[in-house]
Amino acid sequence: MLKDKIVLVTGASSGIGEATALALSAEGARVAAGARRADRLAALAGKAPGEVLALDLDVTDQDSVRAAVAAAVDRFGGLDVLVNNAGVMLNGPIAGADTAEWTRMVETNLLGSMYAVHAALPHLLERKGTVLQVSSTSGRIASAGSGVYAATKFGINAFSESLRQEVTAQGVRVVLVEPGFVSTELTTHITDPAIREFARNMAASMRTLQPEDIANAVVYALGQPDHVAVNEILVRPTDQTQ
């Protein structure tokens, strides 16, 4: 079902994005992989079984987003799927927070995904494609120390449902994938020492998900026939309680 589908993956230089790009390439999709770390994308293109177009992409910059979508369409002739994966997690208490980190999360996680949808949607409407949003369990349950990150993910969930209602009658499917604790670089970006240690201990306490586990969920959702819309997939580690 995915052979020759044209897919743009954001945040493709590591973690879930990298694993998803590789999994889709293995399924025969033509993949445009966007991120800011060009060296990582070059390595990804070298590992992928099929052709991967590496794109310099900063989702917080609307011009960069538009240019990436245009480059994917120019290379492959259209766009069938947008996988919105780019994100940062800079958790910490609200009191005393560095609000620049709040801005970075909102601009990357929420506005960045919105910009990508806005740029890609005309092409997806033309080809009756799919928007796949990588959200989080934090888009369902907020917890102490993750207020702003959770707010961005709640926002993604709300935006996705509104989008679904607007475009589903036009043949565009909207998929929300909500991972629980995944072993990725995200926790290493946390600057608050206590929260970073908490995340490290949490990871050590369970059999965490691997990026490939989420990539498998993405492949499943995107591989369904056109009349089937898998709108939401919640994937937690078996050992995760929240």
Instruction: Give the residue numbers marked as catalytic.
Output: 149
Tokens of 226: 């056109």
- Cα 53 to Cα 51: distance, rounded to the nearest angstrom: 7
Pick from 36, 33, 3, 38: which is nearest to 18 by CA?
33
Residue 3: alpha-carbon gap to chain centroid: 21
Helix (H) or strand (E) holding 72: helix 62-76
Residue 75 corresponds to which tokens in the numbers above?
């290379």
Q: Which residue, 87, 110, 89, 102, is CA-closest to 156?
A: 110
- The counts of H helices and E strands in the chain are 8, 7
- How far apart are alpha carbons 228 and 242 in whole angstroms? 29
Largest alpha-carbon pair distance within the chain? 50
